[in-house]
């Protein structure tokens, strides 16, 4: 009687689970899980103003440059018109 070949190559030390050649699990023992590729976060900026005692304080939220430019322009306009008497020298700084 001829010896029959098993349909699935399942056995101890066969290396091929369920007969799939070249199968590699996602997290075999001793290997870390692969990390997802994420785009870097967008750059953030902060608006700063100077007080009469030479201290510099942040004003408004940390946001994109496009959001802070009109706010900085409005503060500069208030300083020029004389309605803002405490804040001086508004400037935008990129945060790390």
What are the tens digits of pLDDT across the range 12-60? 555 566 666 666 666 666 667 778 899 999 999 999 999 999 999 999 9
Assess if residue 26 is contained within a domain.
no
Assess if residue 66 is contained within a domain.
yes
Assess if residue 32 is contained within a domain.
no
DSSP type of residue 18: G
Residue 1 predicted with pLDDT over 90: no
Total structural domains within the chain: 1
Assess if residue 24 is contained within a domain.
no
Task: Give the residue-averaged pLDDT of 54-78.
Answer: 95
**Which residue range forms the structural domain that includes residue 49?**
45-94
Assess if residue 56 is contained within a domain.
yes
Task: Give the residue-averaged pLDDT of 90-95.
Answer: 96
CA distance 48 to 75: 11
Assess if residue 69 is contained within a domain.
yes
Assess if residue 15 is contained within a domain.
no
Residue 7 is predicted with a pLDDT of 61
Residue 93 is predicted with a pLDDT of 97
Residue 96 is predicted with a pLDDT of 81
Assess if residue 63 is contained within a domain.
yes
Residue 8 is predicted with a pLDDT of 58
**CB neighbour list of residue 47: distance below 8 Å, 6 or more residues apart:** 58, 59, 60, 68, 71, 72, 75, 90, 91, 92
Residue 89 is predicted with a pLDDT of 96
């Amino acid at each position: 009687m001829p010896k029959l070949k098993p349909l699935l190559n399942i056995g101890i030390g066969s290396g091929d689970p369920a007969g799939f050649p070249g199968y590699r699990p996602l997290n075999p023992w001793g290997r870390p899980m692969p990390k997802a590729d994420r785009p870097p976060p967008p750059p953030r900026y902060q608006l700063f103003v100077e007080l009469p005692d030479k201290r510099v304080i942040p004003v408004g939220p940390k946001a994109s440059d496009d959001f802070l430019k009109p706010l900085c322009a409005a503060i500069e306009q208030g300083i020029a018109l004389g309605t803002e008497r405490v804040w001086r020298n508004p400037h935008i700084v990129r945060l790390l």
